[in-house]
Structure 1
Amino acid sequence: MTSHGPVMPIWSCGGCDMPWPCPTRRRELRAEYADASVSLALYLGAYLVQAAEDMPWAPAGALHRRFIGWTRQPPEAQQRTTGRGR
């Protein structure tokens, strides 16, 4: 079980206080859904809907990038965009 779960309704990470899903949780999710990219997108899509309801002021495009957009990037590109190469 991860300590990097979402804290709702503010959608920050319970483990590091970054916007959820944080880089650590993204790495965990990539590993967990390594051979199931569609399942990962569906899982995160459900969270996207909840987040959009909790944060109606947040731009839809920003929420999409935050919750789903990163799933199509290779892990190396994700590390470059977050500035974290752990």
Structure 2
Amino acid sequence: MTSHGPVLPIWSCGGCDLPWPCQTRRRELRAEYADAPVSLALYLGAYLVEAAEDMPWAPAGALHRRFIGWTREPPEVQQRSTATVPPAPDRNERHQPG
């Protein structure tokens, strides 16, 4: 059993005090539901409904990203830095020989 469960009604992590589900719990959930991504989304959807009732001031989009949005991202995306990625070159720009 994990120590990274939700502390209600503030929805912080009981293991690390970060917003739940924290990164540790997300990794655990990914492993637990590795072969059942739809079940994971349904499981977290139930928590999303409870959290929305406990935190009516929280924007719906932020709650969705926090509880469900991360499940569609590959695990490596979640671990990446938040550094700015340089823009892709403009494909319409003509290449001028140098």
Q: Same fold judged by TM-score > 0.5?
A: yes
Question: How big is the shift at 1:81?
Answer: 5.6
**Cα distance in 1 for residues equivalent to 2:6 and 2:76:** 24
> Structure 2 length normalisation: TM-score?
0.82
Q: Which structure has more RCO (C-alpha within 8 Å, separation ≥ 6)?
A: 1
Work out the CA distance in 1 between the residues paired with 2:39 and 2:69.
14
SS of match in other structure, 2:80: helix
Runs of 4+ in structure 1 deviating by more than 3 angstroms, as ranges, are none
Match of 1:14 in 2: 14
More helix by share: 1
Distance 1:16 1:43 in 2: 21
C-alpha distance in structure 1 between counterparts of 2:81 and 2:27, whole Å: 14
Deviation per residue, 1:41-71 (Å, 9 max, x gap): 0000000000000000000000000000000
* Structure-1-length-normalised TM-score: 0.93
Q: Which runs of 5+ in 1 are unaligned?
A: none
1:81/1:20 CA distance change after superposition, 3 Å: farther
Q: Name which one, 1 or 2, has greater alpha-carbon Rg.
A: 2
Structure 2: give runs of 5+ residues left out of the alignment. 83-98
SS of residue paired to 2:81: helix
Distance 1:80 1:13 in 2: 22
Q: Measured at CA, do residues 46 and 9 of structure 1 come closer, stay the same or move farther in structure 2, by a change above 3 Å?
A: same
The alignment of Structure 1 onto Structure 2 pairs a total of residues equal to: 82
**CA–CA distance in 2 between the matches of 1:80 and 1:16?**
20
The 3-state SS of whatever aligns with 1:21 is coil
Identical positions, percent: 90
Distance across 2 between alignment mates of 1:64 and 1:47? 10
State how far apart, in whole Å, the 2-side matches of 1:64 and 1:56 are: 13
Aligned alpha-carbon RMSD (Å): 1.0
